[in-house]
Structure 1
Amino acid sequence: MAATFISVILMIEAAAVIGVGVYTAIVAFGEEGMHIVGTLFLAAVCLGLGVFLIQAARGMRSGRPWSRGAALAWQVLQIGLALGSFNPDNRIVWLALLLAIPAIVVLALVFRQSVTDWLARGERQQALSAMPLVDIGGRRLSVFDSPAQESAGDVVVFESGLGASGAFWQLVERELQGCARLVSYDRAGYGTSDAAQGDRGLEALADDLDALLETLRSQRLVLVGHSWGGPIVRLVARRRRARGQDVTGLVLVDPSDEGASMFFGRAFAASDAMQRALSVPLARTGLLRRLYGTVLKPLTGELLDAVAEASASVTAARASNAELLGVTAGLEGLLAHPEAETDAPVTVISGARSGRSDRRQRAELIRAHQRRAVQARNGRHVLAPHSGHMVPLSEPEVVADEVRRLLA
C-alpha cells in the first residue's frame, strides 16, 4: 500500500535526521564559546524534526488525515535543502540526490487515490470515536442519537442483529427523521463501545439494552429489533412489563424465533461453529470487512464504511462470537418460558424473498413469524415483498411505516 511505503520513508528520514542531531550534539562538546550554543541549538532542532517525522509516519500508518500535510511540508523543505546543497564543483551531487529522491517519491505517492481512501477511512474512524458514549454501569456504549423535532416524548430504540453496528439502521432512521427521538447503539465490543467480559448470552444483551433505556426519558417507547435483535427487544419488553413500564409497541424485523426448528438443527450448529472459527482470522486479514461490504450492498459511501468499520474489527468479531455462543440457549430459554399476552401492539415483518438454497428455511421462518403475530393480542404480520433477511436495508420504508403506525 502506498500509505505504508510513505510511512516507511518518513521513518527512514526521521532516523537520518535524528542521527544528524546526535552527531551534531557530540561535535558541539568540542566547540568553544558561542559556537557550542549554536551547535547545540542545531542538534535540538534536528532531534525535534526527527520526532515530528516519527509522529507523521505513525499518523500515516494509522490513517490520520493531518499526516498528509505533515509529509508534504517536510518533503518540500527537503527538496529545498537538496537544491541548496547541489554543487557540482565540490562533487557533492550525491547529497542532493539523497535528499531529493525520497522527497520526490513521497510527493508522487501522497496524492494517489489509495492514500486518499486510507486517510478518509481514518477520518471516519475519528468521527465514530467522537460518537457519544453512554455509561451503563461500568461500561460505555456508543450511541447514535437523533433528537426529534416534534413529539419529544416519543423514543424509538433500534436493536441490531448479531454482528451489526447500530449504524446499520441509518436508512430506516432517515425515513423517520423528525417524527421521534431515534436511538441506535453499538453493543459491547462493536465500534467504540467498551468490550464486555464473561457471558454474552441473551440475558446479558438484554441487560445492556435495559440499562441504556434507563438513561432515556420517554413518554412512549417503541423497540425495533432485527434478526437476533428481535429476541433481545422481546425480553426487555417482558421485563419492563413486569415492572409496570410496558412499551408502546414492538417491531420485530425478520427476527430469530424459537418457533422455527431451524435454530436447533445440525445445520445451524455447523454454520455457527464455522462462523466462530473464521470470523477473527477474517477480521485480522481485512477480509471480513470486504464480506460486510457485499452483505451491506444497499449502503454506499461513508455510511457503508462506517457500518463495516464498527462491525468488522477483531474486537467486534470476538464480540459477535461471544454472542453467537448464546443464541441457541437464549432461544431455548424463550421456548421454555413463553411470554404472557400483552396489550402492546407487536408487528412482525418477514422478508418474503428466498433463494434456492434457503427456500425451505425461509418458509419455516415466515410461519414462525405468523404464529408470533397471532400470539400477541394486537399482533400484525407484514411481508416485505422485495426483501430477504436484510429488510432494514432493502425496504427501510416498510419498517418505518410500521413504526409510524405504532406512534400514530
Structure 2
Amino acid sequence: MGKLHTQGTPGTAPVGGGRELYYVELPGPDGTAAPTVVFEAGMAATRSFWALVQPRVARWARAVAYDRAGLGRSAPDPGPRTVDHLAADLNALLDHLGPGPFVLVAHSGGGPVVRVAAAARPERVAGLVLVDTTDEACDLLFNRTFRRAERVAQRASAVLARVGLLGFAFRKQVRAFPPDVLAEIRAEAFTPAAMRTRGRELTALVAATTAFRERPPVLPADIPVTSISGMRADSGMPRAFRLAATESHRFRADRSAHGRWVPAHESGHNVVVTEPGLIADEVRLLLERCRGGSAPV
C-alpha cells in the first residue's frame, strides 16, 4: 500500500449539468461527533492551499478540501461564474458529503461564497471560520485605485502564466508545502486556464460584494462566526487597506451572537501558509462550542 496523500483520499461530487467537483478528504478520529469541516480556498486557489491546515483539523474532525469548477482537477463550468452559482456548487458538494452539520472555513475571496451557501441552507451549518476574507464592509474594496490595481494584477498574472513564470513568482509562498502537495500546486495552480478562471472569479467577486452593500447574505445570529485577520501589511495589502480590511473582519464577527475576532500577528494576507496552526486551533475552538457537535481537546 502506498503512502497516504497529505490531504487524504480523493473523491468527486456531482453538482448538476454532468459536472463534478474534485475533493480530498481526511476522515478524522474514529467515533467523532464533530461536524464535518469543509475548506473553501481563495480566489483561483486550489484545494492544495489548505494542505497545512487540513491535516491539523483532521485530528478532531472529518476534513474536506475541494476545487471549484475550472480549478485544480474540477472541470470548467460553462455556466455563469457568479458567487450565487459558486455557492450552489458548494451546497451540492455538501449534499454529497452527507446531512451535516458542517463548519465552513474560507480564505480571502472564498468568504462571500461560504456566506451565500450558509445563508441558503443555514440549518446544516454549525459555524463559519473566515480567514482574512473579502468583505463588503471594507469600503476601500470599492475604491477606483484599488479596482484598477486588481485589473492590472490580473493581466500581469495571465501574462506570467502564458510564459511559464507565474509559479516562479510565487515560489517563496508555496515552498512550505509538503512534496506531494507542492508537485500538484506547480502542475495545477499557475496555468493559463487557472488564470482565466481567476479573471471570471474576480468579476463575480466584484459584482457580489457590490450587491452585498445593499442586500448582504443573512445568517441566523446563533451561527458562530470566527473571523481571522492577518495583521501585517504586504504587497497585496498595503497598510491603509490592511487596517480597513481588519475593521471589516471585526464587523463580520460582531454580526454573530457567538462571534469571535482573532488577530494573526505573524501574517499578512496569506494566513493559510504563515499561521496554519492558528487557523486549526480556531476551528477546534469553534467545534467545541458550535451547534451540533463537540471536538476532543
Partner residue in 2 for 1:15:
none
1:363 alignment partner AA: L
Task: After TM superposition, list the pairs within 5 Å mapping 1:203-352 onto structure 2.
Answer: 203-241=84-122, 245-338=123-216, 339-352=218-231
The structure 2 residue matched to 1:160, chosen from 41, 56, 65, is 41
Bigger Rg, structure 1 or 2 = 1
Once the two structures are superposed, what CA deviation does each residue of 1:228-252 show, in whole Å capped at 9, x if it has no partner?
11111111111112xxx24111000
Q: Secondary structure at the match of 2:68?
A: coil
| Counterpart-to-counterpart distance in 1, 2:245 and 2:175 | 23
1:347 alignment partner AA: T
Q: Secondary structure at the match of 2:112?
A: helix
Is 1:183 aligned to 2:61, yes or no?
no
1:399 alignment partner AA: I
User: Residue 149 of structure 1 contacts residue 178 of structure 1 at CA under 8 Å; is this kept in 2?
Assistant: yes
Q: Secondary structure at the match of 2:195?
A: helix
Change (3 A) 1:406 1:288: same
**How many pairs does the alignment contain?**
278
Kindly state the Cα deviation for residue 299 of structure 1 after the two structures are TM-superposed: 2.5
User: Residue 292 of structure 1 contacts residue 308 of structure 1 at CA under 8 Å; is this kept in 2?
Assistant: no
| Counterpart-to-counterpart distance in 1, 2:36 and 2:125 | 10
Change (3 A) 1:308 1:271: farther
User: Residue 369 of structure 1 contacts residue 381 of structure 1 at CA under 8 Å; is this kept in 2?
Assistant: yes
Change (3 A) 1:160 1:340: closer
| Counterpart-to-counterpart distance in 2, 1:238 and 1:352 | 28
1:359 alignment partner AA: R
The structure 2 residue matched to 1:378, chosen from 229, 242, 258, is 258
Partner residue in 2 for 1:145:
25
Please report the RMSD computed on the Cα atoms of aligned residues, expressed in angstroms.
Answer: 2.1
- The answer to which structure has the higher helix fraction is 1
Question: 324-333 vs 344-353, which deviates more?
Answer: 324-333
- The answer to which structure has the higher strand fraction is 2
Kindly state the Cα deviation for residue 184 of structure 1 after the two structures are TM-superposed: 0.6
2:192 alignment partner AA: V
User: Residue 253 of structure 1 contacts residue 391 of structure 1 at CA under 8 Å; is this kept in 2?
Assistant: yes
Kindly state the Cα deviation for residue 218 of structure 1 after the two structures are TM-superposed: 4.2
Question: 281-290 vs 350-359, which deviates more?
Answer: 350-359
| Counterpart-to-counterpart distance in 2, 1:311 and 1:278 | 15
Partner residue in 2 for 1:136:
15
User: Residue 222 of structure 1 contacts residue 251 of structure 1 at CA under 8 Å; is this kept in 2?
Assistant: yes
Kindly state the Cα deviation for residue 405 of structure 1 after the two structures are TM-superposed: 1.1
| Counterpart-to-counterpart distance in 1, 2:60 and 2:142 | 39
User: Residue 14 of structure 2 contacts residue 21 of structure 2 at CA under 8 Å; is this kept in 1?
Assistant: yes
Partner residue in 2 for 1:358:
238
Once the two structures are superposed, what CA deviation does each residue of 1:237-274 show, in whole Å capped at 9, x if it has no partner?
11112xxx241110000000101112111122212222
Kindly state the Cα deviation for residue 169 of structure 1 after the two structures are TM-superposed: 0.5
Kindly state the Cα deviation for residue 325 of structure 1 after the two structures are TM-superposed: 1.1
| Counterpart-to-counterpart distance in 2, 1:189 and 1:340 | 28
Kindly state the Cα deviation for residue 182 of structure 1 after the two structures are TM-superposed: 0.6
| Counterpart-to-counterpart distance in 2, 1:355 and 1:286 | 24
TM-score by length of 1: 0.64
User: Residue 173 of structure 2 contacts residue 273 of structure 2 at CA under 8 Å; is this kept in 1?
Assistant: no
Q: Secondary structure at the match of 2:13?
A: strand
| Counterpart-to-counterpart distance in 2, 1:394 and 1:247 | 27
| Counterpart-to-counterpart distance in 1, 2:186 and 2:243 | 30
User: Residue 147 of structure 1 contacts residue 178 of structure 1 at CA under 8 Å; is this kept in 2?
Assistant: no
Kindly state the Cα deviation for residue 385 of structure 1 after the two structures are TM-superposed: 0.9
2:222 alignment partner AA: D
Q: Secondary structure at the match of 2:63?
A: strand
Kindly state the Cα deviation for residue 197 of structure 1 after the two structures are TM-superposed: 1.5
User: Residue 34 of structure 2 contacts residue 287 of structure 2 at CA under 8 Å; is this kept in 1?
Assistant: no
Kindly state the Cα deviation for residue 324 of structure 1 after the two structures are TM-superposed: 0.8
User: Residue 240 of structure 1 contacts residue 246 of structure 1 at CA under 8 Å; is this kept in 2?
Assistant: yes
Kindly state the Cα deviation for residue 355 of structure 1 after the two structures are TM-superposed: 4.3
TM-score by length of 2: 0.87
Kindly state the Cα deviation for residue 358 of structure 1 after the two structures are TM-superposed: 0.5
| Counterpart-to-counterpart distance in 2, 1:297 and 1:264 | 33
Change (3 A) 1:144 1:232: same
Question: 197-206 vs 288-297, which deviates more?
Answer: 288-297
Once the two structures are superposed, what CA deviation does each residue of 1:104-136 show, in whole Å capped at 9, x if it has no partner?
xxxxxxxxxxxxxxxxxxxxxxx99x9433221
Identity %: 37
Kindly state the Cα deviation for residue 207 of structure 1 after the two structures are TM-superposed: 1.3
Runs of 5+ unmatched residues, structure 2: 1-5, 289-297
User: Residue 352 of structure 1 contacts residue 388 of structure 1 at CA under 8 Å; is this kept in 2?
Assistant: yes
| Counterpart-to-counterpart distance in 2, 1:191 and 1:355 | 26
Change (3 A) 1:216 1:302: closer
| Counterpart-to-counterpart distance in 2, 1:234 and 1:308 | 30
